Amino acid sequence: MSILKIENICFAYDKKQVLKNISYEFEKGHIYSIVGKSGAGKTTLLSVLSGLAKPTSGEIYYDDKNMKDTNKYEYRSKYVGVVFQAYNLLTKLTALENVVLSMDISSKKIKDKKKVAYELLERVGLSKEESNRRVLKLSGGQQQRVAIARALSYDPEIILADEPTGNLDSETQKEILTILRELANAGKCIILVTHSDEVARMSDYVYQLK
């Protein structure tokens, strides 16, 4: 049974059609890769799936509920974790604060948020000392790991990630992919937008946008 389903999704920026009649289904426990050439609409599709962009036509169903009847903020804060290509972290906050804030926004009952956040950050490869640094003082790769930790912080059903390994070295890339696999095995639905063949290869399903 699909956790997320899109039917005949169309999206246009001004008059330029970016997505045209896209219909996909995503299930729990799998990793999906969306691939395609630059400008094919991969990031746009991810925005539509995260509820940030409203399709010009078509339907989106989350857990069989039409997204039109779902509160977008609640959807983004509880059910879907997004790893943005540009990370979109709050630069005046530390890595830890970014993760804790995300937990706060989700309103999910999490005991000892700080401890959970440290563990998550450690899991993506950030030491305690690095976790307490302001995001701006972290490298691109470290920021990407913070973004991943933030997306995982409130234990969402779906993880949407735009080029999650784009700025990571091969070793860290492997570690991240391992984490994603573990999450999929734990029953999460992982949807990745990627240019990386390696990422695509480890995916269960690959959707090609033309």
Partner 1 sequence: MYVIKNAIKSIFRSKGRNVLIGIIVLAISVSACLGLSIRQAASKAKDDALDNMTITAQISFDRNSIMNDMRPDSSGSGGFDKSKFSESMKNMQGLSVDEMLTYADNDNVKDFYYTLTVSMNGSEEFEAVDTSEETDETESNDNGFSDEFGDMSGMMKPGKGFTIGSMGSQGDFTVIGYSTDSAMTDFINGTSSITDGNMFEEGTDSLDCVVSEELAVYNDLSVGDKIKVTNPNDEEETYELTIVGIYANSQSTVTSGDRMFGFSLSSDPANQIYLSYNALKSITTKSEENATISTDENTGMETTTAMPEQVSGTYVFATVDEYNDFTIEVYDMGLAEEYVVSSSDISEYEQSVVPLDNLSEMALYFLIVVLAIGAIVLVVLNVFSVRERKYEVGVLTAIGMKKWKVSIQFMLETMVVTVIAVTIGGIIGATTSVPVTNSLLKSQIEAADSKESGMEQSFGRVPGNMMGNMPDNMPQMNFDKGDSGFRGKATEYISEVSSATDITVLMQLLGIGVFLALVASVASIVFVMRYDPLNILSNRD
C-beta of 49 vs 177, nearer to partner 1: 49
DSSP-derived secondary structure letter, 85? T
The verdict on 136 binding partner 1 (CB under 8 A) reads: no
DSSP-derived secondary structure letter, 75? I
The verdict on 52 binding partner 1 (CB under 8 A) reads: yes
The residue type found at 34 is I
The verdict on 75 binding partner 1 (CB under 8 A) reads: yes
The verdict on 19 binding partner 1 (CB under 8 A) reads: no
Write the interaction track for partner 1 spanning residues 146-185; mark x where CB under 8 A is met and - where it is not: ----x-----------------------------------
Cβ contact 120:149 at 8 Å = yes
Interface residue with partner 1 among 53, 200, 202, 206 (CB under 8 A) is 53
C-beta of 90 vs 186, nearer to partner 1: 90
How far, rounded to the nearest angstrom, does the alpha carbon of residue 145 sit from its chain's CA centroid?
A: 12
Distances in whole angstroms, Cα of residue 6 to Cα of each of 110, 158, 168: 31, 14, 30
Identify the sign of the CA torsion 54, 55, 59, 62: negative
We find the least distance from the C-beta atom of residue 113 to partner 1, in angstroms, to be 10
C-beta of 95 vs 177, nearer to partner 1: 95
We find the least distance from the C-beta atom of residue 76 to partner 1, in angstroms, to be 4
Beta strands in 37-186, from DSSP E residues, in sequence order:
57-62, 65-66, 80-83, 158-162
Of 30-38, 99-107, 170-178, 180-188, the window that binds partner 1 (rule: CB under 8 A) is 99-107
Residue 95 and residue 117: Cα distance in Å, rounded? 9
What does DSSP say about strands 205-209 and 31-36: parallel, antiparallel, or unpaired?
parallel
The verdict on 108 binding partner 1 (CB under 8 A) reads: no
Binding site for partner 1 (CB under 8 A): 47, 52-53, 73-78, 82, 84, 86, 88-90, 92-93, 97, 101-102, 104-106, 150
